[in-house]
């Protein structure tokens, strides 16, 4: 085997490459810790010394794409321009092709993205773990990501020779969690990542995020704590702990975690907002309002829109709904669409509900809140919330609508769920729907319960005119009476049976003019309740002999002269 000798120049080149590699690795580490400012600066330094460093280009683009908007770093336009420019001179660089595919996924150009991914895989002969990981991550990050495709490529990475990359399983967990909403497989993937790298705090943190979406405090708090123990430099876990205790009224704990977070993260524009929000957590509302308004005044158009929301919360907690509503309106006018959270819409809806005439807007905002939240349990909680709110403000049609949505979402809805949905429609005056629920679904599913028969009859009667001229409820009331009389609990259903017989008697007498049939139904009332005061009164009228006609006067002969 030949020995390779390096001259002095080659040695300097090699040293430079090693230095660049170390700098790129340092940038990637900053990105892992979500220190976007440091990551961006590191990659830019590498590119300043070597503009053709493909790794630095790729990771700078990822930094620009994935930084939160509040960091002041996110710039998808710049990321796209960066990849496009680099591809002009490095058109077959696999990582750059994947980077461009990431952009295309975000733009909804899924076919173009996949073509770039497949080209990158082909160029690396399906053996480059970094490329396969990048494809998986691109799909996990984008709303239009292809989850099965991403899982397929990540599994391909695990089959490469001497595979030992914990990041593959970390990304796989993200695909399951973000795209497939599959917490079980996500947790399993994250745990595999931890087996390969016991200090991979990001995987433990991601497990905590799964339990957080399930609102499972007993699991997500210990998971975040464990992440900080695995790697005390992992800031995102500290931030989640800060955020939890901030909203659960333990200011001291919140500040403690904030201090730890601040030690391991980059300074960013949103830090001042978080500091001022401590005043809200401490219920120092006037101070919080004053500090927020000062920031709004001094920063103008550059002020974080969340200051408006913070002021709104302060006013709301003090019982000043008018000012709270005003500041939330300003928040909605200034915040970017992608940076709204589900709670923004539900909180605003609750404010709107305090003012008459906003029924429709309340429901529109709850629709936005439900659409924004991807966790089924959270969606159901929001639907229950808006249904109850609609009932409270008297918007019965809204309550009926959400009861139906809630019923459809439940995996195993109960008879109580179905009843509430039907009654909500009846109370809202949507009788055709309550008719279909009680006459169709309820009677079919629960034939041994009276509610389907009773509210079917009442729904049909409500659809008729004031004198029941069409007799829409005749069959339904006949069924109701039959059910009540034949039931072992017939005594319990006495009032419903009597209601049926009275309706049938009135219909036969008033509309069909069938007096014998009307008498028959009234006599059935007395069979059920011999002491009923109503039936005898009507029976007396119906069975009374017709009044005698006065005798005709005798005709007198006409007289006169011829």
DSSP, residue by residue, 72-117: T---HHHHHHHHHHHHHH-TT-HHHHHHHHHHHHHTT-HHHHHHHH
Both structure tokens of 534? 């109503």
The pLDDT, as a whole number, for residue 3 is 39
Tell whether domain 209-268 is in CATH 1.20.1070.
no
Q: How high does pLDDT run on average in the chain?
A: 91
The helix or strand, by DSSP H or E, that contains position 407, with its residue range, turns out to be helix 396-409
CA–CA distance, 352 with 346 (Å, rounded to integer): 10
Q: Exposed e or buried b for every residue in 442-470, given b needs 16+ CB within 10 A? A: bbeeeeeebbbbbbbbbbbbbebeeebee
pLDDT for 19: 47
Model pLDDT for residues 141-165, shown as the tens digit of each residue: 998 899 999 999 999 999 999 999 9
* Measured distance CA(40)–CA(74) in Å, rounded: 10
How much is the pLDDT for 53?
A: 96
Angle of CA points 155, 161, 166, to nearest 5° = 55
pLDDT, residue 197, reads 97
DSSP one-letter string for 387-400: HHHHHHTT-HHHHH
The two structure tokens encoding residue 162? 């001497």
Report the 10 Å Cβ neighbour count for 329.
15
| Confidence at residue 554, expressed as pLDDT on a 0 to 100 scale | 64
pLDDT value at position 77?
Answer: 95
Helix axes 285-299, 306-317, angle to 10 degrees: 160
Q: What share of the chain is helix, strand, coil (3-state, %, to 5)?
A: 75, 0, 25
Specify the DSSP class assigned to residue 90. Answer: -
Q: Decide: 328 and 347 in contact? Cβ < 8 Å.
A: yes
Where are the domains positioned within the chain?
A: 209-268
Rg of the chain taking only CA atoms, in angstroms? 36
Task: Report residues of the chain scoring pLDDT below 50.
Answer: 1-19, 561-562
What confidence score (pLDDT) does residue 559 get?
Answer: 54
**In the prediction, which pLDDT does 72 show?**
78
pLDDT value of residue 552: 62
Give yes or no for a contact between 307 and 289, defined as CB atoms under 8 angstroms apart: no
DSSP state of 560: -
The whole-angstrom separation of Cα 283 and Cα 509 is 70
**Is-above-0.85 flag for pTM?**
no
Whether the Cβ atoms of residue 504 and residue 520 lie closer than 8 Å to each other: no
Q: Which residue has the tokens 């595979």?
A: 163
Sequence-ordered list of residues with C-beta below 8 angstroms from that of 317, at least 6 positions apart, any chain:
280, 283, 285
How many residues are there in the chain?
562
């Amino acid at each position: 085997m030949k020995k390779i000798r390096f001259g002095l120049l080659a040695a300097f080149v090699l040293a430079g490459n090693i230095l660049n590699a170390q700098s790129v690795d340092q940038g990637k580490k900053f990105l892992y810790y979500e220190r976007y400012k440091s990551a961006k600066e590191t990659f830019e330094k590498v590119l300043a010394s070597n503009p053709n460093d493909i790794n630095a280009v790729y990771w700078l683009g990822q930094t620009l794409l994935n930084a939160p908007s509040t960091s002041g770093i996110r710039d998808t336009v710049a990321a796209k321009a960066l990849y496009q420019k680099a591809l002009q001179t490095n058109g077959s660089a696999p990582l750059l092709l994947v980077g461009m595919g990431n952009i295309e996924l975000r733009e909804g150009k899924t076919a173009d993205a996949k073509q770039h991914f497949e080209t990158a895989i082909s160029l690396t002969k399906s053996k480059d773990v970094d490329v396969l990981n990048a494809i998986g991550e691109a799909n996990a990050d984008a709303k239009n990501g292809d989850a099965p495709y991403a899982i397929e490529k990540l599994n391909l990475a695990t089959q490469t020779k001497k595979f030992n990359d914990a990041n593959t399983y970390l990304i796989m967990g993200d695909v399951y969690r973000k795209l497939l909403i599959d917490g079980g497989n996500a947790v399993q993937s994250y745990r595999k990542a931890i087996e390969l790298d016991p200090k991979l705090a990001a995987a433990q943190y991601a497990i905590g995020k799964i339990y957080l979406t399930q609102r499972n405090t007993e699991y997500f708090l210990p998971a975040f704590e464990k992440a900080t123990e695995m790697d005390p430099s992992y800031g995102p876990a500290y931030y989640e702990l800060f955020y939890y205790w901030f909203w659960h009224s333990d200011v001291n704990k919140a500040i403690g975690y904030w201090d730890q977070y601040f030690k391991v993260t980059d300074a960013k524009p949103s830090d001042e907002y978080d500091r001022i929000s401590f005043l809200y957590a401490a219920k120092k509302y006037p101070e919080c309002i004053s500090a927020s308004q000062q920031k709004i005044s001094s920063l103008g158009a550059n002020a974080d829109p969340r200051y408006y929301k913070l002021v709104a919360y302060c006013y709301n907690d003090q019982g000043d709904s008018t000012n709270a509503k005003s500041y939330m309106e300003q928040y909605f006018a200034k915040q970017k669409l992608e940076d709204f959270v589900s709670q923004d819409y539900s909180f605003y809806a609750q404010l709107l509900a305090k003012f008459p005439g906003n029924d429709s807007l309340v429901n529109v905002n709850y629709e936005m809140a439900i659409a924004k939240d991807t966790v089924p349990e959270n969606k159901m909680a929001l639907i229950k919330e808006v249904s109850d709110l609609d009932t409270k403000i008297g918007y019965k049609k809204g309550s009926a609508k959400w009861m139906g949505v809630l019923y459809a979402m439940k995996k195993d809805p109960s008879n109580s769920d179905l009843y509430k949905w039907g009654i909500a429609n009846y109370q809202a005056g949507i009788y055709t729907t309550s008719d279909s629920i009680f006459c169709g679904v309820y009677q079919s599913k629960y034939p041994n319960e009276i509610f389907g028969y009773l509210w079917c009859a009442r729904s049909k009667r409500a659809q008729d005119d004031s004198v029941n001229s069409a007799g829409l409820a005749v069959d339904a009331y006949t069924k109701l009476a039959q059910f009540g009389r034949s039931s072992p609990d017939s005594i319990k259903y006495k009032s419903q049976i009597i209601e049926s017989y009275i309706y049938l008697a009135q219909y036969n007498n008033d509309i069909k003019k069938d007096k014998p049939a009307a008498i028959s139904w009234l006599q059935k009332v007395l069979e059920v309740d011999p002491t009923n005061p109503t039936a005898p009164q009507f029976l007396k009228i119906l069975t009374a002999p017709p009044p005698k006609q006065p005798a005709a006067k005798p005709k007198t002969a006409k007289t006169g002269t011829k």
